[in-house]
Structure 1
Amino acid sequence: MRRRLVRAGASGELGSVALLAATSLLALVGALAHWQLVTIAALAASVLCEPLVQRYAPTFGRLLGQADLGPTTRAALRGGVVALAGVGLWESRWPAVAFAVVFGAYLLLHCAHAFCVAQLRKAHSRPVLTRNVDTAAGAREVWGIRPHRWRREVPAQLAVVVPAICVTEGSWVVWVLGTLAVTLQMMLVIGPVADVLASRTARGDGVRKPKMVPIQTFIDDYRPEVVLHLSGSKTSAYQVNVWLPTLERLRQRTLIVLRDDELFHALDATSLPVICAASGSDLMSLDLSHVRVALFPTNIGNNIHILRLPTLMSAFIGHGDSDKSASAIPYARVYDEIWVAGEAGADRYRRAALGIADDAFVRVGRPQITDVETASQRPPPPVPTVLYAPTWEGWNSGQAYSSVLAIGDRLVEHVLSMPGRLRLVYRPHPLIGARDPRVRDAHLQIVRRIEAANTSGRTDGAYTSTLSVTLDPEGSAVAEQAAHALVDRSFWEGLDPAAHVVVQPGASDPTLVSCFNESSALVADISSVLSDFVASEKPYAVFNPTHTDADRFVADFPSAAAGTTVMGNGTGIEEFVAVVAGDAPDDRMTDRSRLAEYLLGPATSRTFATFQHAVDALCDRAGRERAPHRA
């Protein structure tokens, strides 16, 4: 509760709520003091504050509802204020009778509206969202919570409460305007009532809910052979986005199944059908017997809702190749196969001693790095460029590989101290600072330092990427990837060659591969960024987050074997920067070539064709071994 109050106050919601409270209190004071004009004005103002609270103070609006001070209660309190004011104003009983009848009818309809909206919210609290699916199923709009609700609500409430304290004896004004208010409120209630009745009478097919029936119809017609399943917040979208171009090229019919609304809305453009079913029971009610292979880019509990199906076979594909401890955990035993880029991936599981048989490992290369260019394939940039791409701090201290807090500021300052000789491109992990505010502060300090370097006269040009990429959510990921590549090239060509750049990972920023190709060298942490960059065979340095010496660190994290190790005290930074600036020789080229093959497989196998072959093989295996379960 305290967090919600702080968040509400910080976002400027207090103003609308304070205005509502002040006008309501003033109306009460005016009624007690028999100040007719003050009471009228304050009541009208408090009614007009209702849409402001709904639009600008939703958090406080929910808190007021939890305290039994929702819109219906507030309307009833205004009625009480009118009755209190009428004690000193009405000279006969007829205004009181008229107000009691029309306000009672209005309040009854208001309660009916609130009840219906609550029922609809409950019924559709977990909608099924779809993309590229030919069905009417999806996120439906709930009557009564649309922004224009108050276009009828405000006039209706004003027509009930204001006229009653404008008259002293006659009642015809109260009757006429009150009837109009009741009519408006009735029009507002008709929709929700009809919707509630429809939802109560709707029936499924005996197995699944009505909302899932059209989804099943689509699945029966589409007959997907491959499913990719992912659950997580919007910050996890990169875990599926990285696979979209590859999945679109598969010869098998492919379906993407997501489990969280915010993840669905953060999904990049794709022509593949997408279903987002937050409820496990909704997803498990679907018949997915046509599916042969399920692919999983991350280990998460919701995977069980697909893994439970005996009619398909599963493969863990990950969302990047790295030496992080999360790359080899016991959860992996649930999959039929574990797809790794190269032999290094299989060795990680072997070192972890998880009891996974060798025949479970399938080497599929890295189709995402097909466009990574080696130093010999592209002329060097006019100014040697250091790409600093740190990872985030991880979910816990056991996965804290990030260098930002330990050496980030020192590294950046060292590179920026050589204007004209070195350029810096800073591209942090999308989750940087998500768990540890100290890391977030260090990240922001780096951004400010780069901004200052660009604006102090050392370099010219913008310090942040400002690309313009128009994404069609239902468009092709392959086409968008090609379009993005052209925009990336235009961005780099239009930038001052010496300008430092901050790249915030997102749909409108230069891709990681683009940053690789524009860089002369990389400074990174233990992550998939490091493994993918090795394909370029360019110099790199890697941060040692452990308390072990460099030799032990390389033994534990083989992806660091062909680079410069940077220790927690900054040792190694000057040595590496000297190599990039050309002040020291680069004598690790042969080592990097060997390491690239170990991490990612032979250059000829880091292709889509290798991945397609793995999908074909697992589909064939599922057809043989799971046939009895589909009988």
Structure 2
Amino acid sequence: MPIVRDLGLALGLVKRSVRARRTRKQLAKRDLTLTAPRPGVVRVAVYFADGPVNLYQIRQWYAPLAHLNRTTPVAIVVRSPATMLALLSESPVPVAYARQVADLEAFVESQPIAMTLYVNQNSRNFQMMRYARMWHVFVNHGESDKMYMTTNQFKTYDYAFVAGKAALQRLGAKLWDYDLDRRAILIGRPQADHFAGALPYTPDGRIVVLYAPTWEGDRPAAAYGSIASHSALVPALLATGRHRVVYRPHPRSGVRDPDYRTAHEGIKRLIEEANRKDPAAGHLFDDGPDLGWQLAAADVAITDISAMVYDRLATGRPLLIARPVSPEAEVDEGGYLGSAEWVTADQASDIVRLVDRVLLDSDARERLDFWAEHHFGDTTPGVATRRFESAVALLESRWHEFAAQSPRPEASPSGDASEAGPDDGDDSHRD
């Protein structure tokens, strides 16, 4: 009923407002100078306007940014109080809190920023992008064949750091009049050089299966999530006694679809029950901040169409992909997905046989090796990090070239100083 729905929306707004006030009070008690960058040093800013629900997008950049910060000063610019609270304790590089536009202007004026990196397409990126005398660079938060990877928003940025040849082909096929040769710079996947986290279990001969589904999506064309449609695969693996399941769902799983959340909670309960029956099994529900050990340690990974496909692809290890059940979900099979090992919903209960098959299939391994090179180039450890830092150095040299041609500092752009970043609970960006 409309009245019930409206009451629910109103209650949600009140709860978010109370939570936001509580967060701001907590933040007011913290000494933000301890993690703030020193004036006059930052060359690379990383702009993150989202709330904590999307922290996974910036977390995966922590290690490459920390490595870059050894030679080129880096700072993350945060707009949300709740996000700032989180980064105070976990960011490996300095963090600038700029909730108001006036704070953002003060930060920009106090730093010799050569470029700003953006990990998503949040509409609030435009509050930073109005500043000239710096490059604006889209670095994204993953490599995939989602429709998000060819959005026309790429044209908004001066440059884009992309993974490899597959990304160039994707953009060239979709974007009109986009200068790939100059504006798209190949860096591979530097995150793969810094897989994070220690194993939370002791290897014991069990076959480790990572199940890393995405969320349900906000429109039919992006309905890639498998938690509800393929949930039979988890109990099938739990029942064997020879598999260890690591369940790492997308942080947004179930935020829009109650049935999807119910299926997600059901999988968590199954894992708890299986561990009670056999504590040595060591099945895991994993929602921690570290991402990397899961991809590197799993004998087989099962993912949806998402960046997790390509993060796993970079390891060259066996991979299965859950085929979306929605007929409207866009599946681009012109690239790796055309050669992938698929799991349909009606095959979910037969997952043990499929896992055994990909573990022993030499043809599948050869296909993985080919597509890993196509998407990421040289995946030798350390190469992508060097390519990322070389791309930063290239743009810094171009910055010096253009700055020398126009030495006068510009006036600060006008803006409403009352504009603020998102408070806790912001969900403005969902890809």
Query: What TM-score, normalized to structure 2?
Result: 0.79
Give me the whole-angstrom Cα distance separating, in 1, the residues matched to 2:33 and 2:322.
41
Match of 2:86 in 1: 266
Higher normalized contact order (CA 8 Å, seq sep 6+, divided by chain length)? 2
Residues 45-67 of structure 1: CA distance to partner in whole angstroms, max 9, x if unpaired?
xxxxxxxxxxxxx96xx9xxxxx
Q: Is the 8 A contact 1:541 1:563 kept in 2?
A: yes
Residues 263-290 of structure 1: CA distance to partner in whole angstroms, max 9, x if unpaired?
1112252353211112224313541561
Structure number, greater radius of gyration = 1
Q: What is the identity, as a one-letter code, of the residue corresponding to 1:287?
A: E
Match of 1:610 in 2: 387
Residues 506-565 of structure 1: CA distance to partner in whole angstroms, max 9, x if unpaired?
3xxxx3311123311011011111101112222111122265699x94625x34344311
Give me the whole-angstrom Cα distance separating, in 2, the residues matched to 1:354 and 1:311.
26
Q: What is the identity, as a one-letter code, of the residue corresponding to 2:260?
A: V
Q: What is the identity, as a one-letter code, of the residue corresponding to 2:287?
A: Q
1:615 to 1:8, Cα distance in 2 relative to 1, 3 A: closer
Cα offset for 1:440? 1.0
1:629 to 1:298, Cα distance in 2 relative to 1, 3 A: farther
3-state SS of 1:315 partner: strand
Q: Is the 8 A contact 1:392 1:431 kept in 2?
A: yes
Structural mapping, 1:8-157, within 5 Å: 130-132=32-34
Match of 1:307 in 2: 129
Give me the whole-angstrom Cα distance separating, in 2, the residues matched to 1:403 and 1:443.
10
Q: Is the 8 A contact 1:367 1:611 kept in 2?
A: yes
Q: What is the identity, as a one-letter code, of the residue corresponding to 2:145?
A: D
Matched, 1:512 2:291: yes
Structural mapping, 1:232-311, within 5 Å: 232-250=50-68, 251-267=71-87, 269-285=90-106, 286-287=108-109, 290-311=112-133
Cα offset for 1:583? 9.4
Cα offset for 1:380? 8.3
1:453 to 1:271, Cα distance in 2 relative to 1, 3 A: closer
Give me the whole-angstrom Cα distance separating, in 2, the residues matched to 1:505 and 1:244.
14
1:627 to 1:432, Cα distance in 2 relative to 1, 3 A: farther
Cα offset for 1:626? 4.0
Residues 344-363 of structure 1: CA distance to partner in whole angstroms, max 9, x if unpaired?
22222223234321121111
Cα offset for 1:596? 0.7
Structural mapping, 1:268-417, within 5 Å: 269-285=90-106, 286-287=108-109, 290-359=112-181, 360-370=183-193, 382-407=205-230, 409-417=231-239
1:572 to 1:292, Cα distance in 2 relative to 1, 3 A: same
Q: What is the identity, as a one-letter code, of the residue corresponding to 1:243?
A: W
Match of 2:300 in 1: 521
Match of 1:598 in 2: 374
Give me the whole-angstrom Cα distance separating, in 2, the residues matched to 1:343 and 1:573.
36
Q: What is the identity, as a one-letter code, of the residue corresponding to 1:534?
A: L
Cα offset for 1:129? 8.1
Q: Is the 8 A contact 1:311 1:630 kept in 2?
A: no
Give me the whole-angstrom Cα distance separating, in 2, the residues matched to 1:617 and 1:277.
28
Cα offset for 1:321? 1.2
Q: Percent identity?
A: 27
Cα offset for 1:131? 4.9
Q: Is the 8 A contact 1:578 1:584 kept in 2?
A: no
Give me the whole-angstrom Cα distance separating, in 2, the residues matched to 1:326 and 1:597.
22
Give me the whole-angstrom Cα distance separating, in 1, the residues matched to 2:228 and 2:121.
27
3-state SS of 2:91 partner: coil
Give me the whole-angstrom Cα distance separating, in 2, the residues matched to 1:347 and 1:546.
27
Q: What is the identity, as a one-letter code, of the residue corresponding to 2:342?
A: T
3-state SS of 1:266 partner: helix
Larger helix fraction of residues: 1
Match of 2:415 in 1: none
Cα offset for 1:258? 0.9
Show structure 2 runs of 5+ residues with no match. 1-5, 197-201, 409-431
Give me the whole-angstrom Cα distance separating, in 2, the residues matched to 1:131 and 1:430.
30
Give me the whole-angstrom Cα distance separating, in 1, the residues matched to 2:34 and 2:406.
30
Give me the whole-angstrom Cα distance separating, in 2, the residues matched to 1:244 and 1:371.
9
Matched pairs, number: 384
Match of 2:364 in 1: 588
Matched, 1:555 2:333: yes
3-state SS of 1:385 partner: strand
Show structure 1 runs of 5+ residues with no match. 12-57, 63-120, 135-214, 374-378, 461-495
Q: Is the 8 A contact 1:430 1:505 kept in 2?
A: no
Q: Is the 8 A contact 1:343 1:598 kept in 2?
A: yes
Cα offset for 1:446? 0.8
1:322 to 1:126, Cα distance in 2 relative to 1, 3 A: farther
Q: What is the identity, as a one-letter code, of the residue corresponding to 2:288?
A: P
Query: What TM-score, normalized to structure 1?
Result: 0.55
Q: What is the identity, as a one-letter code, of the residue corresponding to 1:564?
A: E
Give me the whole-angstrom Cα distance separating, in 1, the residues matched to 2:285 and 2:29.
38
Cα offset for 1:423? 2.2
1:381 to 1:366, Cα distance in 2 relative to 1, 3 A: farther
Match of 2:269 in 1: 448
3-state SS of 1:294 partner: strand
1:505 to 1:133, Cα distance in 2 relative to 1, 3 A: closer
Q: Is the 8 A contact 1:364 1:610 kept in 2?
A: yes
Q: Is the 8 A contact 2:50 2:80 kept in 1?
A: yes
Cα offset for 1:602? 1.3
Match of 2:321 among 523, 531, 542: 542
Match of 2:419 in 1: none
Q: Is the 8 A contact 1:126 1:278 kept in 2?
A: no
